[in-house]
Amino acid sequence: MTWPVQRTIVILLALASLGTTALIVLNIARNRHATAGHGATAMQSGGASPTVFDNPIALPAFELTERSGQPVTLETLKGKASVVCFIYTHCAGPCPRITSVMAGLQGQLDKLGTRDHVRLVSISVDPERDTPERLREYAGWAHADGEHWLFLTGPRKDIWALIKDGFKQPVAENPDNTTDPILHTQKLVLVDAEGRIRGFYRALDESLPDGTVVKSQIDELLNDINRLSGK
Identify the three-state secondary structure at position 150: strand
Q: How many Å apart are CA 37 and CA 55, to the nearest integer? A: 16
Q: What does the pLDDT look like over 123-155, one tens digit per residue?
A: 999 999 999 999 999 999 999 999 999 999 999
pLDDT in the model for residue 158: 97
Count the domains in the chain.
Answer: 1
Q: How many Å apart are CA 226 and CA 153, to the nearest integer? A: 29
Whole-angstrom CA distances from 43 to 89, 191, 224 are: 32, 19, 14
* 44 close to 215: Cβ distance less than 8 angstroms: no
* 159 close to 60: Cβ distance less than 8 angstroms: no
State the CATH number of the domain containing residue 100. Answer: 3.40.30.10
For the segment 108-128, the average pLDDT, to the nearest whole number, is: 92
* 130 close to 124: Cβ distance less than 8 angstroms: yes
Q: How many Å apart are CA 39 and CA 24, to the nearest integer? A: 15
Whether 5 shows a pLDDT value over 60: the answer reads: no
* 120 close to 152: Cβ distance less than 8 angstroms: no
Q: What does the pLDDT look like over 169-216, one tens digit per residue?
A: 999 998 888 777 898 999 999 999 999 999 999 999 988 888 888 899
DSSP string, 12-58: HHHHHHHHHHHHHHHHHHHHTTTTTTT-TTPPPTTTPPPS--SS-EE
For the segment 14-26, the average pLDDT, to the nearest whole number, is: 42
pLDDT in the model for residue 207: 83
pLDDT in the model for residue 229: 75
Task: Quote the domain boundaries for residue 122.
Answer: 3-229
Whether 101 shows a pLDDT value over 80: the answer reads: yes
Q: What does the pLDDT look like over 27-66, one tens digit per residue?
A: 433 333 333 222 222 223 333 444 556 789 999 999 999 9
Provide the β-strand partners of residue 124. 87
Q: How many Å apart are CA 225 and CA 231, to the nearest integer? A: 8
Name which of 56, 6, 48, 3 is nearest 196 in CA terms. Answer: 56
Provide the β-strand partners of residue 118. 81
